[in-house]
Amino acid sequence: MRRRADGEAGGPSVPLVAGVGARSGVAVSEVLELITASCAAAGYAASQVVALATVAAKAAEPGLRAAAHRLGVPLLSFPAAELAAVRVPEPSAVAAAAVGTASVAEAAALLAAGPGAELVSGKRKSAPRGRPARATCALAGPAVTDKGGRTAEREGAAEAPSWAADIVKTSSHPPRPGSSRRTADVGGPAPDSTTTGTKETQ
């Protein structure tokens, strides 16, 4: 996992993928707050996130779909077997038992960010008040070479996601000024959900 180099430019030129794991019924507000906090802790802005990524078993989770919609980015999903093959720094036995892979957030972020991607922020748990955490998030982006270039030749691997990923949804909102976002016509955002769930992905 790398940290941003001194003087490295922020903004849309440094695209990030947010890998997200979630318990069933996670609220969109909890997901969005976690993504924002993860970006801030790593020295980036949430506007630099060009895609969310998760395990296929969570692709229909309303809180994740609504978070992608509000950010104006696609939600990508990967089969558990593909995520399980990705080496990550913080594997979880709980996640492996629940969804068949020891990592969701970190592995999904790396896969969606494309070849040569690196974690810029490891797995971080949400911190809702008075409740257990229901979401995890990790950030990945193109690796920076010794000469300051990026390993990915295209601008943001998530702009041309791996064919192994399923694009679950994109936003009907127009791109934000100064950012590069994919858009498509979809229905309105899913409502926040506070229903308790039984499975957790990490």
Return the CATH number at 104: 3.30.420.180
77 located within any domain: yes
pLDDT of residue 14: 83
- DSSP states of 7-49: T---STTS-EEEEEEE-TT--HHHHHHHHHHHHHHHT--GGGE
181 located within any domain: no
**CB-based burial of residue 180 (10 Å sphere; 0-12 exposed, 13-18 middle, 19+ buried)?**
middle
71 located within any domain: yes
Residues whose CB is less than 8 angstroms from the CB of residue 163 and which lie 6 or more positions away in sequence, other chains included: none
Single-letter code of the amino acid located at 142: P
Per the structure, the complete domain to which residue 89 belongs is given by 16-169
196 located within any domain: no
179 located within any domain: no
pTM value > 0.85: no
pLDDT of residue 165: 52
pLDDT of residue 31: 97
Name residue 150's beta-bridge partners: 144
Work out how many domains the chain is built from and give that number: 1
**Residue pLDDT tens, the chain, 202 long:** 554 443 344 444 689 999 999 999 999 999 999 999 999 999 999 999 999 999 999 999 999 999 999 999 999 999 999 999 999 998 888 888 888 999 999 999 999 999 989 999 999 999 888 889 999 999 999 876 544 444 443 333 444 444 345 555 433 343 343 333 333 333 344 444 433 333 444 5
27 located within any domain: yes
126 located within any domain: yes
Q: What share of the chain is helix, strand, coil (3-state, %, to 5)?
A: 25, 20, 50
180 located within any domain: no
Which one, of 64, 15, 75, lies nearest residue 44 by Cα? 15
H/E segment holding residue 120: strand 117-125
